[in-house]
């Protein structure tokens, strides 16, 4: 018998578990089977900090807590590392949601005990549940486990929830995610990503004063995928770093080309994903680009969203300072989009605040901004002025909005009213037609 068991936890080996589960699924009659797939969040942290012995002990204890004296238990196994799966009998009078809440309470209790014992405030369980009912008799056990595991992964990404019920919609989402993340690198190589440019206009002259680089994914069939669809996915996988670098290189080479040709060019801003905070390779990458392309630093600006500053102020500060030291400007993007970062403004060396487009969204039928939004926008712009930070409003779509921003002294405007994001060749025509604001360029 002993070779069928996992040495550390005493649970079944996974292969054995699948065979048992197969039998249980066939045998099931007036009850359902719940598959509970759990792992320990930050398990690696415990291993690294307290050593493998502690990690092993924790796992062993975890396994025995969930299985011992459990009258409903059908079978349980360690899949690998800290991943434990168990099948329990679920009576028909218990709803799926009730069962999920029960497991959630059980997890919280275990966390309390373990946190004290292992001195780890971060210790947390992540659990996915898939329910097998009579109608699913033909379900292959491995698929049932992978469904529960999928739910666990969803749970892992959530902040507050740690137990999630499997839902067949998750499969579609994952398929799409896998499709996108697995094709990303080759898509960059095949030139499927294109950089578009959206002009920015100086309020006092109504002339071109800069542009923002925004990436587009054009699939081989000509279909465009917009950043909102793929950026959150590749941000999770960390691949956004690679894509951002691609965008930066495109922008550097575009500016260098214009300068070489002796043509006009304006400063161009690029977006910085939150994923850079973990790697920080961005500073040396940008440094290398400056050496390679030899363009003056004031032609490049970096946009970091407000949420980045809030998530990790210390790292964000280091990043902003690093970029500043190279002579580039940094802006706080999406300002006011949900977090409150007013307190950070005085502490961070920010050059520009970009007011989020939500402020301009609440027009009434006559395209007039709501009174309350007006008050907020004008106060933010006033505050920016006093802090000597340049103010920019994005999402300007109507002449009324643009007029109002002029009235209250917002310095730069960006939005469909002036231009949508356009491909490079069109942007070059745009520059040629709109002589740019020389003064502001020389100022720095």
Residues in contact with ligand C2E by CB under 6 A are 198, 214-215, 226-228, 231, 240, 244, 247, 271, 273, 303, 333-334, 357, 394-397, 415-416, 421
When CB distances are held under 5 to 8 angstroms depending on the partner's kind, the choice from ligand C2E, Ca ion, none that residue 227 binds is: ligand C2E
Residues in the chain: 444
Whose Cβ is closer to ligand C2E: residue 31's or residue 245's? 245
Provide, rounded to whole angstroms, the least separation between the CB of residue 437 and ligand C2E: 20
Question: Tokens standing for 337?
Answer: 């989009």
Residue closer to ligand C2E (CB basis): 132 or 282? 282
d(CA 133, CA 166) in angstroms, rounded, equals 13
Return d(Cα 317, Cα 402) in angstroms, integer: 32
Q: Which does 397 bind (CB under 5 to 8 A by kind): Ca ion, ligand C2E, none?
A: ligand C2E
Q: Which is nearer to Ca ion, 17 or 359 (CB)?
A: 359
Based on CB atoms, which residue is closest to ligand C2E, 147 or 331? 331
CA 307, CA 344: separation in Å to the nearest integer? 11
- Residue 154 · residue 169 · CB < 8 Å: no
Pick 9 or 273: Cβ nearer Ca ion = 273
Q: Least separation, in Å, of the C-beta of 265 and Ca ion?
A: 19
DSSP 294-315: ---GGGEEEEEEHHHHHHTHHH
CB of 274 to ligand C2E, least distance (A): 8
Tell me how far, at minimum, the Cβ of 270 lies from ligand C2E, in Å.
Answer: 6
Which ranges constitute the DSSP H helices of 349-411?
Answer: 358-361, 371-386, 399-407
Judge whether 201 and 412 are in contact, CB under 8 Å. Answer: yes
What is the three-class DSSP state of 209?
strand
Task: Residue 226: name its binding partner from Ca ion, ligand C2E, none (Cβ under 5 to 8 Å by kind).
Answer: ligand C2E
- CB of residue 265 vs ligand C2E: minimum separation in angstroms? 19
With CB under 5 A as the contact rule, the residue among 12, 82, 244, 334 that binds Ca ion is 334
Count of C-beta atoms within a 10 Å radius of residue 224: 10
In the complex, minimum distance from the CB of residue 357 to ligand C2E, in angstroms, rounded to a whole number: 5
- Interacting residue with Ca ion among 12, 39, 111, 333 (CB under 5 A): 333
Alpha-carbon distance values, 424 to 8, 250, 251, 276 (Å): 59, 10, 10, 26
Name 308's Cβ contacts closer than 8 Å, sequence gap at least 6: 272, 274, 277, 316
Among 271, 328, 401, 413, binds Ca ion (CB under 5 A): 271
Q: How far is the CB of 240 from ligand C2E (least distance, A)?
A: 6
**Does 301 participate in binding Ca ion (rule CB under 5 A)?**
no
Comparison of 334 and 411: residue with beta carbon closer to Ca ion: 334
237 phi, psi to nearest 5 deg: -85, -5
Read off the tokens for 437.
């604001």
Nearer to Ca ion, 77 or 266 (CB): 266
- Region of 46-54, 167-175, 250-258, 265-273 interacting with Ca ion (CB under 5 A): 265-273
395 binds, among ligand C2E, Ca ion, none (CB under 5 to 8 A by kind): ligand C2E
CB of residue 379 vs ligand C2E: minimum separation in angstroms? Answer: 21
Distance CA 284, CA 322 (A): 9
Q: Give the CA dihedral 372, 374, 377, 383, nearest 10 degrees.
A: -90
Segment near Ca ion (CB under 5 A), from 43-51, 65-73, 219-227, 329-337?
329-337
Among 39, 82, 250, 303, binds Ca ion (CB under 5 A): 303
Judged by CB, which is closer to Ca ion: 39, or 303?
Answer: 303
342: left (phi over 0), alpha (psi -120 to 50) or beta: alpha
The residue among 18 and 233 lying less far from ligand C2E, judged by its C-beta, is 233
Nearer to ligand C2E, 58 or 214 (CB): 214
- Which contacts of 87-94 are long-range, i.e. CB under 8 A and separated by 24 or more positions? 87/17, 87/20, 87/21, 87/24, 87/33, 87/34, 87/35, 87/36, 88/33, 88/34, 88/36, 89/31, 89/32, 89/33, 89/34, 90/31, 90/32, 90/33, 90/34, 90/131, 91/31, 92/30, 92/31, 92/32
Q: For 49, list phi and psi in degrees, rounded to 5.
A: -85, -45
Smallest separation, CB 340 to ligand C2E (Å):
18
CB of residue 53 to ligand C2E, shortest distance in Å: 42
Residues that bind Ca ion (CB under 5 A): 271, 303, 333-334
């Amino acid at each position: 018998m002993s070779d069928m068991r996992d040495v550390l936890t005493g649970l079944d080996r996974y292969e054995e578990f699948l065979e048992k589960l197969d039998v249980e699924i066939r045998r099931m009659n007036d009850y359902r089977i719940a598959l509970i797939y759990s792992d320990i969040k930050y398990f690696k942290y415990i291993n690294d900090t307290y050593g493998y012995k502690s990690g092993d002990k924790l796992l062993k204890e975890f396994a025995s807590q969930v299985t011992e004296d459990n009258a409903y238990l059908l079978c349980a196994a360690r899949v690998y590392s800290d991943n434990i799966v168990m099948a329990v009998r679920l009576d028909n009078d218990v709803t799926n949601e009730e069962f999920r809440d029960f497991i959630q309470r059980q997890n919280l209790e275990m966390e309390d005990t373990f946190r004290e014992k292992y001195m780890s405030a971060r210790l947390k369980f992540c659990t996915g549940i898939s329910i097998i009912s009579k109608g699913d008799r033909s379900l292959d056990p491995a698929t049932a486990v992978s469904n529960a595991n999928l739910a666990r992964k969803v749970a892992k990404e959530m902040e507050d929830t740690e137990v999630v019920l499997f839902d067949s919609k998750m499969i579609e989402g994952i398929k799409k995610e896998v499709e996108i993340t697995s094709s990303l690198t080759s898509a960059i190589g095949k030139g499927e990503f294109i950089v578009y440019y959206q002009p920015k206009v100086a309020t006092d002259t109504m002339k071109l004063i800069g542009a923002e680089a925004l990436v587009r994914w054009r699939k081989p069939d000509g279909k465009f995928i917009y950043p909102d669809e793929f950026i959150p996915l590749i941000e999770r996988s960390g691949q956004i770093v690679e894509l951002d670098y691609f965008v930066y290189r495109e922008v550097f080479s575009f500016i260098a080309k214009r300068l070489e040709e002796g043509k006009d060019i304006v400063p161009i801003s690029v977006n910085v994903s939150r994923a850079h905070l973990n790697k920080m390779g961005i500073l040396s990458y940008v440094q290398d680009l400056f050496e390679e392309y030899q363009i003056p630093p004031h032609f490049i600006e970096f946009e970091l969203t407000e949420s980045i500053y809030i998530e990790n102020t210390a790292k964000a500060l280091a990043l902003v300072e690093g970029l500043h030291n190279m002579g580039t400007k940094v802006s706080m993007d999406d300002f006011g989009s949900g977090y409150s970062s007013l307190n950070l403004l005085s502490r961070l060396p920010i050059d520009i605040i970009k007011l989020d487009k939500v402020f301009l969204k609440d027009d009434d039928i006559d395209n007039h901004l709501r009174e309350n939004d007006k008050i907020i926008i004008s106060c933010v712009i006033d505050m920016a002025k006093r802090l000597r930070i340049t103010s920019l409003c994005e999402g300007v779509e109507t002449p009324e909005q643009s007029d109002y921003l002029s009235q209250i002294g917002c310095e730069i405007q960006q939005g469909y009213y002036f231009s949508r994001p356009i491909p490079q060749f069109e942007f070059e025509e745009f520059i040629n037609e709109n002589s740019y604001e020389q003064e502001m360029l020389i100022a720095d």
